[in-house]
């Protein structure tokens, strides 16, 4: 009977929920914690990883990391409204540099990998805003290049630290027409163009440096360069279906046969 239950749990929900069920049966956790406690989810993944020797993938960055919450083998580290441009700065309004390296200090660099998610905020808000505030003093191409240069400095730094990392491209733009609190907000067509050009240049930079780049843009965008209806979560983010794209990319590169588990 017990083996039949184990088989059914694994088949329906994957190894993570099987692991949680085992903790529950052992009286180590209560049922109310099964779906509501992110720390418990992360603890279970850490423990499973340690016991099995399988790597975890730490998704670090802006709010686009949140789709990886509670999705094996990911641990989501949302460090606020962090930008690619300011990530290298030791002092910024978001304190992103300090938060980023604090996360890196705690991971198992010999076993685990890091997935970096930065740049969408730069493309959606800051680049066009800077372009307009400075009356076109800097071209959009220059603003994109400068952002990638700054971001690239951080990639070089963590590469020298021996971190096994992957660079996640940004998703396509949404069709949102305005953004409260932003002085200059580009129309959807311009934001689509900025996102596309940023991804192209970031991908090229990664290829030249031999850094592993995950092209999510081409997978989630429609023929006009906006987030496809299939992947829309809200006016900014893609939904959980995009996790499968990242998993497929990582599957062979991490030698992890359980990447399909939810």
Q: Domain residue spans in the chain?
A: 1-36, 45-254
What strand order describes the sheet that includes 113-117? 74-78, 57-61, 113-117, 165-168, 212-214
- Residue 110, judged by CB atoms within 10 A of its CB (0-12, 13-18, 19+), counts as exposed
In percent, the amount of the chain with pLDDT more than 70 equals 83
Please report the pLDDT score of residue 12 as a whole number: 46
CA 6 to chain centre: 32
- Cβ proximity of 247 and 259 under 8 Å: yes
Dihedral sign from CA coordinates of 42, 48, 50, 54: negative
pLDDT band for position 123 (cuts 50, 70, 90): very high
- 2: pLDDT strictly greater than 70: no
- 133: pLDDT strictly greater than 80: yes
Length of the chain: 262
Taking residues 248-252, report their average pLDDT. 88
Residue 93: which of 44, 60, 120, 126 has the closest Cα?
126
- Cβ proximity of 109 and 99 under 8 Å: no
Please report the pLDDT score of residue 132 as a whole number: 94
Please report the pLDDT score of residue 24 as a whole number: 59
Task: Say yes or no: domain 45-254 is CATH 3.40.50.10800.
Answer: no
Whole-angstrom distance, CA of residue 259 vs CA of residue 56:
10
Please report the pLDDT score of residue 260 as a whole number: 46
Greater confidence (206 vs 259) lies with 206
Please report the pLDDT score of residue 222 as a whole number: 92
Quote the mean pLDDT of the chain: 86
In percent, the amount of the chain with pLDDT more than 90 equals 64
Q: Which residues contact 137 (CB under 8 A, 6 or more apart)?
A: none
- 3: pLDDT strictly greater than 70: no
Element (H, E) at 23: helix 15-25
Residue 56: which of 40, 43, 38 has the closest Cα?
43
The answer to whether the bond into 262 is cis (omega within 30° of 0) is no
Whole-angstrom distance, CA of residue 78 vs CA of residue 63:
6
pLDDT band for position 76 (cuts 50, 70, 90): very high
- 226: pLDDT strictly greater than 70: yes
pLDDT in tens, 17-39: 566 666 655 555 555 555 556 77
Q: Which residues contact 158 (CB under 8 A, 6 or more apart)?
A: 104, 114, 165
Please report the pLDDT score of residue 50 as a whole number: 82
- Cβ proximity of 101 and 158 under 8 Å: no
What pTM does this model have? Answer: 0.85
- 220: pLDDT strictly greater than 60: yes
Please report the pLDDT score of residue 112 as a whole number: 95
- Cβ proximity of 121 and 151 under 8 Å: no
Strand partners, 117: 61
């Amino acid at each position: 009977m017990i083996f039949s239950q184990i088989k059914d749990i694994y088949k329906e929900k994957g190894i993570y929920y099987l692991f949680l069920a085992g903790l529950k049966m052992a009286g180590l956790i209560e049922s109310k914690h099964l779906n509501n406690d992110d720390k418990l989810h992360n603890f279970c993944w850490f423990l499973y990883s340690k016991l099995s020797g399988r790597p975890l993938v730490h998704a670090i960055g802006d709010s686009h990391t949140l789709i990886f919450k509670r999705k094996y083998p990911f641990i989501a580290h949302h460090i606020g409204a962090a930008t690619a441009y300011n990530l290298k700065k030791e002092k910024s309004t978001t304190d992103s540099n300090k938060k980023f390296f604090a996360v890196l200090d705690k991971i198992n660099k010999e076993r685990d990998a890091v997935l970096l998610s930065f740049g969408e905020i730069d493309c959606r808000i800051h680049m066009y805003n800077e372009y307009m505030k400075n009356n076109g003093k800097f071209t959009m191409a220059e603003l994109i290049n400068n952002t990638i240069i700054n971001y690239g400095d951080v990639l070089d730094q963590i590469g020298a630290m021996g971190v096994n990392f992957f660079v996640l491209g940004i998703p396509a733009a949404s069709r949102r027409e305005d953004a409260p609190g932003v002085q200059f907000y580009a129309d959807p067509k311009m934001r689509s163009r900025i996102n596309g050009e940023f991804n192209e240049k970031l991908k090229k930079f990664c290829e030249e440096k031999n850094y592993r780049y995950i092209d999510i843009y081409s997978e989630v965008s429609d023929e006009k360069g906006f987030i496809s209806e299939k992947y829309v979560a809200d006016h900014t983010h893609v939904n959980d279906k995009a996790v499968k794209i990242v998993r497929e990319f990582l599957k062979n590169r991490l030698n992890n046969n359980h990447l399909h588990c939810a």
